[in-house]
Amino acid sequence: MRKGLLLTTASVALVSSLTACGGSSSSDTDSGSGSDAKPKIGVILPDSKSSARWETADRKYLSEAFKTAGVEYDIQNAQGDKQEFQTIADQMITSGVNVLVIVNLDSGTGKAVLDKAKAQGVATIDYDRLTLGGSAQYYVSFDNTAVGKLQGEGLSKCLTDMKAKKPIVATLNGSPTDNNATLFAEGYNGVLDPKYKSGEYVKGPDQSVPDWDNAQAGTIFEQMLTSERQIGGVLAANDGLGNAAIAVLRKQNRNGEVPVTGQDATVQGLQNILAGDQCMTVYKAVKKEADATAKLAISLAKGEKGETNATVEDPEGKRKVPSVLETPVAIYKDNVKDVVDDGFVTKAELCTGKYAALCTEAGIK
């Protein structure tokens, strides 16, 4: 009823300007003419331990985007359990979602979920991680090779700043079942391999961390340090893995002497940077990723084509996936404040206890 009243162009324009929620809102209101059913979108997040981002950033920004767009949504977290992932997907499909958005735990189980959704007429989006051989209609993420490149360049900048001579570089890669980990490695190895070849750096131990498990990363790094005592730099694929290495270095009083990289601009990672124990992190503005996903999901729910800015090749499925890719940013001590200014972390959570003084030094107001 209310919808019927709003269906003139003028009032649609008025609604969108009043709610100030951007370009997509006017067409949302338009689509109300056909059916009264609101689109319903289901999102499955992977876990809450491999990175703080999934619960603190992705859940928050996705909920906000869906709320702003006025669609129904259900966001659940599989907590690293592949069985649970499938169960959540089945429940969401049964509950009548129009669009299913997933962050897969591995391509095999992700593909099973995507194929099932497709068979039931549910549209699908791969969020952040591409499901190899999968059937998602769209992929929304960051340029993940660029993320890795920033990490490789970041480590080499910090090694130069420290005037390191022929440092032995250890590598802690992400999960071997995460296509992103492959892309990050392509990015940083593209920077570091030539330096190993030229003899500027020495290639040290290089290992993948199953499921991005932070505790395992600590054990792996401890073994690396035992076998190679002179490690002079650590390429860690995210803040959690980086923090695991830093914790081991702290026990040996070597924190701050060995630059360590990261990713995700987590509170812990940023604090490690302020303290001088971590060299850099990569900030991915998850709000942009979430907003793009909400926009695409709504287009799909309405049977429309969504806007994309890239095409990503799925090497396993040998298909081109229409994608939205956002741009990552490198964060060092001198621009930690940008992450706070962007609202990704608050001063209150970052500048606690001993970090208060470090925050002031770093110009965080």
| Residue 286 identity (one-letter amino acid) | V
Among residues 82 and 203, whose Cβ is nearest to ligand BGC?
82
Which of 147, 57, 164 has the alpha carbon at shortest distance from 103? Answer: 57
Residue 295 as a binder of ligand BGC (CB under 6 A): the answer is: no
Q: Which of residues 222-251 bind ligand BGC (CB under 6 A)?
A: 238
Q: Report helix, strand or coil for 146.
A: helix
Residue 288 burial (C-beta neighbours within 10 Å; 0-12, 13-18, 19+): middle
Site string for ligand BGC, 40-59 (x = CB under 6 A): ----------xx-x------
Residue 264 as a binder of ligand BGC (CB under 6 A): the answer is: yes
- DSSP annotation of 236 reads E
* C-alpha dihedral sign at 339, 46, 320, 71: negative
Identify whether the C-beta of residue 290 lies closer than 8 Å to the C-beta of residue 61.
yes
Q: Which of residues 299-358 bind ligand BGC (CB under 6 A)?
A: none
Identify whether the C-beta of residue 231 lies closer than 8 Å to the C-beta of residue 258.
yes
Which of 88, 110, 10, 12 has the alpha carbon at shortest distance from 43? Answer: 88
Among residues 100 and 286, whose Cβ is nearest to ligand BGC?
286
Residue 177 as a binder of ligand BGC (CB under 6 A): the answer is: no
Among residues 106 and 128, whose Cβ is nearest to ligand BGC?
128
Among residues 129 and 295, whose Cβ is nearest to ligand BGC?
129
All residues at 6 or more sequence positions from 122 whose CB lies less than 8 Å from its CB, including other chains = 93, 97, 98, 99, 100
Among residues 28 and 178, whose Cβ is nearest to ligand BGC?
178
SS3 content of the chain, % helix, strand, coil (to 5): 50, 20, 35
Residue 28 as a binder of ligand BGC (CB under 6 A): the answer is: no
Piece of the chain touching ligand BGC by CB under 6 A; list 174-182, 303-311, 322-330, 342-350? 174-182
Residue 178 as a binder of ligand BGC (CB under 6 A): the answer is: yes
Site string for ligand BGC, 117-156 (x = CB under 6 A): -----------xx---------------------------
Which parts of this chain interact with ligand BGC (CB under 6 A)? 50-51, 53, 128-129, 174, 178, 180, 212, 238, 263-264
